[in-house]
Amino acid sequence: MSPDLLNDARSRLASARAITVLTGAGISADSGVPTFRGADGLWRNFRAEELATPEAFERDPRLVWEWYSWRRELIATKQPNDAHRAIAALESRINDFWLITQNVDGLHRAAGSTKLSEIHGNIWMLRCTACDAVTKNYQVPLPLLPNCARCGGLLRPHIVWFGESLQEEDLTRCANQLQACDVLLVIGTSGVVYPAAGFASIAKEAGAYVIELNLDPTPQSDLVDIALRGRAKDLVPILLQAGK
C-alpha cells in the first residue's frame, strides 16, 4: 500500500472536527479473538448465522450457551491491542467523536472507550427471557443453564441475534453520528451484516470522507474514499497519531 495513501488518511483524520469509527471482528483479531468469517470462524463446524438466532436458542439453549460460554472463556484471556487503545485515546482529543462497534467482546470498553455503541450487544451481559432484567456477569466458566436471580427465568446472552432488531437508541445514535461526522473510519469488518454494512454509504451520502482499513477488499471498498490494506494493530496507531 502506498505510504501517501496512509498520509492522506492521517491528515484527513488530523483535521477532522467530527469523527465516527465503525469496527468489526478484525480489530479484535489482533488480540487473538477469532473472527466470524475468517478461516478460524467456525466452532464445532457451526457458523454464527446458525447459532446466533432466537430459533437456535429456542430449539437448543444448551448448544447456544455452550458456544457463548466457550467464547466468554476465550475472550476472558484476551487484552485490548494498540488499535483499541488508539481509538480510546482519540475520544478525549476531539469533541465530536463516536465509536460504533459490532463486536460483543467488550475490548473497546476494556481499552477505555466510553463514547461507544455496542450495536450487537455485549457477551458479558445476560438478559432474562422472562422478565427482561439485564445483568453483568463475568463468571468463567458460566454454570449452564443460567437462571434469573429475580424470577428464575432462563437467561440469554444480551446480544442482538440474526433476525432481531438493534436497540432503537443505538440506531438513532448511529444515524446521528453518521450524518454529523466529517470522517468515518471503518476498521476490520467484512461488511456483510446489516444494518452496519450500510453505514459507510449512509455517511458517504451525508458528505463524510470514508476511510476503510482491512486486510482484504469488502463490498464497501469501491464506495470509500481511501481503502487501506493492513492490520489494525499496525495502522490504527499511525492513523490516529496525535499532533504532527
- Residues at the site binding ligand BV8, with contacts judged by CB under 6 A: 24-26, 29-30, 35-38, 41, 48-49, 52, 102-104, 120, 159-165, 188-190, 192-195, 214-216, 218, 231-232
> What nine digits make up the cell of 112?
477505555
Taken in order 38, 209, 105, 111, the sign of the CA dihedral is: positive
Binds 26, which of Zn ion, ligand BV8, none (CB < 5 to 8 A, cut-off by type)?
ligand BV8
**Residues at the site binding Zn ion, with contacts judged by CB under 5 A:** 128, 130-131, 133, 148, 150-151, 153
- Nearest Cα to 104, choosing from 40, 25, 39, 175? 25
Q: Which is nearer to ligand BV8, 73 or 150 (CB)?
A: 73
Which among 84, 108, 120, 158 is annotated as catalytic? Answer: 120
Binds 225, which of Zn ion, ligand BV8, none (CB < 5 to 8 A, cut-off by type)?
none
Under DSSP, the state recorded for 100 is E
- Nearest Cα to 25, choosing from 207, 167, 158, 190? 190
Question: Among this protein's residues, is 84 annotated catalytic?
Answer: no
- Min dist CB 145 to Zn ion, Å, is 13
Binds 148, which of ligand BV8, Zn ion, none (CB < 5 to 8 A, cut-off by type)?
Zn ion
- Min dist CB 167 to Zn ion, Å, is 19
Number of alpha carbons in the 13 Å side-chain half-sphere of residue 212: 24
- Nearest Cα to 184, choosing from 211, 214, 217? 211
Give catalytic residues, as residue numbers.
120
